[in-house]
Amino acid sequence: MRKELCFAVMLTSAIFLSDVSNAENIENITPPYTINRCLMRAEELFKTNNYREAIVFYYEGLSMTSNDDIEAKLHFRIGECLEGIRRYEFATYHYKIALKSGKLPDLLKSRAFMKLEHLPEMAQTEEATRLFNSAMEYYKKRNIRAAIDDYLASLRLMPTLMEKNEQGLIEDAVKYLTYLTETRDKEPDRLLKLATMLELRGDIEKSIETLQQLMIIYPDSDEASQAEVKLANFSSRKLSYLETAKPHDAVAEVIKQENVVVFQESFSFTNAGSIAREIENGGFSLRSFNEREGISSNKFEWLSITLGKEPIKRDYLFAASDGIEDNVISFETSNYVYNVSFSDISYTTSYIQDNYTGGKKAVPVFSSVRVLVKIERKY
């Protein structure tokens, strides 16, 4: 028995040493086919729409070449295979690699750009459909909590899914969220989801009440901030509680796109007055004014600037007594970048009646301010 065991150990050692020796010489082993035969087989499979098998040969071809031109075309082909099996995000990745190489022919380059423009939306639609179907499966199993999360996530990615009448899920979700007991840190999220489901059910007043309740009880929570914005948007949007997710801009990762200037103009203020301009979903207003009586009409105490449009805007107020310290102020929304540059800021003194002493007192005022307003549309 002992002799047999010793023989087995010696045999195993011999096999192992043989494997090590073979591993050292593995670089001398040649593949059973050339890269040309490999790619010919890949093309045969690709033309018959057998993308899953074709992609194996294209990947093999990548490992067999160091030619930049061939690698770029192979990445493009791999992208097409992945697109064919509905793996859109992975396809987008390979199209971007092909374009960044700078070696694609012009025809393939234009096709790659076209695909990068549409694939993110297709990927988002695919994910939305998956989440919607997942929500329905959870609902069938009476897992209402998971069903709610996936259902709302699917609507954010693809709002048109609201056209599917899932009244049963909505009714049960309202009941579930109404009677659910949560910890204090999770309670704001419950109220926000309840408001969403109430609005989907058509109970607008109860939905608004729930949002207001959220803002009162949990004013410092992130959900309260969302509730405030959504209430402001309620009158102008069909579904105010669901922030629609925009498809990812894959082209921007390949080519840096600059913002387009939609408005640029200089304005000079030498007295009290106001200027306002509107653009699509945006705009601004400038106003110079006095609060105290007795200041000359060619001077002003205050300059106010409002950038953006309800419900997303920002107000700036500058007093002559404090001065204007920043040369440029900026504000960014989802659509625009606002920049206001100050130049030729002149201060002077105005004398007004002092109600306490009966005499005159000096107050700092602006004599002139020149501003340049520039608005760029974001890509």
Residue range 337-359, pLDDT digits in tens: 999 999 888 988 888 877 667 67
Mean pLDDT of 141-154: 92
What percent helix, strand, coil does the chain show, rounded to 5? 50, 20, 25
Concatenate the DSSP letters of all residues of 186-209 into one string: THHHHHHHHHHHHHHHT-HHHHHH
pLDDT of residue 27: 59
Say which range, 2-6, 300-304, 363-367, has the weakest mean pLDDT: 2-6
Given a cut of 70, is residue 243 above it in pLDDT?
A: no
How far is the C-alpha of 35 from the C-alpha of 67, rounded, in Å? 12
Q: Is 192 exposed, middle or buried (0-12, 13-18, 19+ CB in 10 A)?
A: buried
Reduce the DSSP state of residue 4 to 3 states and report it: helix
At a CB cut-off of 8 Å and minimum separation 6, what does 132 contact?
150, 151, 154, 158, 161, 164
Contact 188, 223 (CB under 8 A): yes
pLDDT of residue 228: 83
Residue range 7-33, pLDDT digits in tens: 444 444 444 444 444 545 555 666 667
How far is the C-alpha of 110 from the C-alpha of 120, rounded, in Å? 17
Distances in whole angstroms, Cα of residue 367 to Cα of each of 172, 298, 316, 329, 344: 65, 7, 19, 21, 10
- Domains of the chain, earliest start first: 26-104 (1.25.40.10), 126-236 (1.25.40), 258-377 (no CATH)
Amino acid at site 313: K
Which of 40-54, 157-171, 231-245 is most confident?
A: 40-54
Which of 85, 83, 131 lies closest to 111 in space, CA to CA? Answer: 83
pLDDT of residue 23: 47
Q: Is 222 exposed, middle or buried (0-12, 13-18, 19+ CB in 10 A)?
A: exposed
pLDDT of residue 10: 47
Task: Using a pLDDT cut of 90, give the percent of the chain over it.
Answer: 39
Q: Is the pLDDT higher at 149 or at 294? A: 149
For 355, half-sphere exposure in the C-beta direction (CA atoms, 13 angstrom radius) is: 3
pTM strictly above 0.85: no
Say which range, 7-21, 68-82, 227-241, 247-261, has the weakest mean pLDDT: 7-21
Q: pLDDT confidence of 57, banded at 50, 70, 90?
A: very high
Q: pLDDT confidence of 242, banded at 50, 70, 90?
A: low
Given a cut of 70, is residue 3 above it in pLDDT?
A: no
pLDDT of residue 361: 81
Given a cut of 90, is residue 75 above it in pLDDT?
A: yes
Amino acid at site 12: T
pLDDT of residue 98: 92
Q: Is the pLDDT higher at 379 or at 226? A: 226
The residues facing 314 across adjacent strands are: 307
- Rounded to the nearest 5°, which phi and psi values hold at 70? -65, -40
Residue range 161-194, pLDDT digits in tens: 877 778 889 999 999 999 988 888 999 999 999 9
Given a cut of 60, is residue 286 above it in pLDDT?
A: yes
Residue corresponding to tokens 């040969």: 57
pLDDT of residue 96: 93
Q: pLDDT confidence of 334, banded at 50, 70, 90?
A: confident
Q: pLDDT confidence of 35, banded at 50, 70, 90?
A: confident
